Copies of this chain bind each other. A is one copy, B any other.
Amino acid sequence: MRGLYIGRFQPFHYGHLRALEWTLSRVDEVIIGIGSAQFSHTWENPFTAGERVEMIWRTLKSRKLLERCIISIIPDTNGMHSLWVSVVRLFTPKFDVVFTNDRLSRRLFEEEGYRVEGIPFYKRELYSATRIRKLMLEGSAWKEYVPKEVVDVIEEIKGVERLRYLFTNQASGRSRSTSKTK
């Protein structure tokens, strides 16, 4: 049996890895779907799809999980949510069950007749991508929350520098990411 586990993975952290391991304890193979794939350089989505593929692939490789996991890329539908399940299916191999805690995703798959299961959170107050990005921004310790391979990728692409450059001393919220031509 094969499961689909979708996330944005901005960045891929130990909470994601635990969730992945939990799903691997319930199905034979897992497709890891990287969502909102076309976006980058925003507060919500600072890393490109390619950078996220790199983070996940290296983490899987060092843990000998590549033979049970397939990495896939899923563009956002820009609010055309009725098309989302079809977009997922277009870009991923077949799967039998969807693992997600996101309500919209759950609903959309259920309306199409898919079996959907939630994933137990692992110390969510610590392992949250938003929190980890904030730690990066503030200059606090963040490396303990992500796999060593993800630390490597973020350092190679100067990811913390990117975050600080883009989001320090600027207004919060949406305008942070779209102020390209003010």
Contacts from A to B (Cβ < 8 Å): 6-8, 35-42, 45, 48-51, 53-54, 57, 61, 66-67, 70-76, 78-87, 89-94, 102-108, 111, 129, 156, 162, 165-166, 170, 174, 177-182
Contact = CB atoms under 8 A, between A and B. Distances in A.
Given A39-B81, A104-B166, A165-B103, A93 B179 contact: no
Contact of A180 (B71, B84, B86): B84
Nearest to A74: B181
Given A72-B73, A90-B49, A181-B8, A38 B102 contact: no
A179 B104 contact: yes
Given A38-B79, A42-B79, A94-B156, 20 more contacts: A38-B80, A39-B79, A39-B80, A40-B82, A41-B107, A45-B79, A48-B82, A49-B90, A50-B91, A50-B92, A54-B70, A73-B73, A73-B91, A81-B177, A82-B86, A102-B179, A102-B182, A103-B166, A106-B165, A107-B166
Contacts of A90: 38, 40, 48-50, 80, 82-83
A129 to B, nearest CB: 8
Contacts of A42: 79, 81
Contacts of A35: 180-181
Nearest to A53: B93
Nearest to A156: B94
Contacts of A78: 78
Interface centre among A74, A75, A86 (most CB of B within 10 A): A86
Contacts of A51: 93
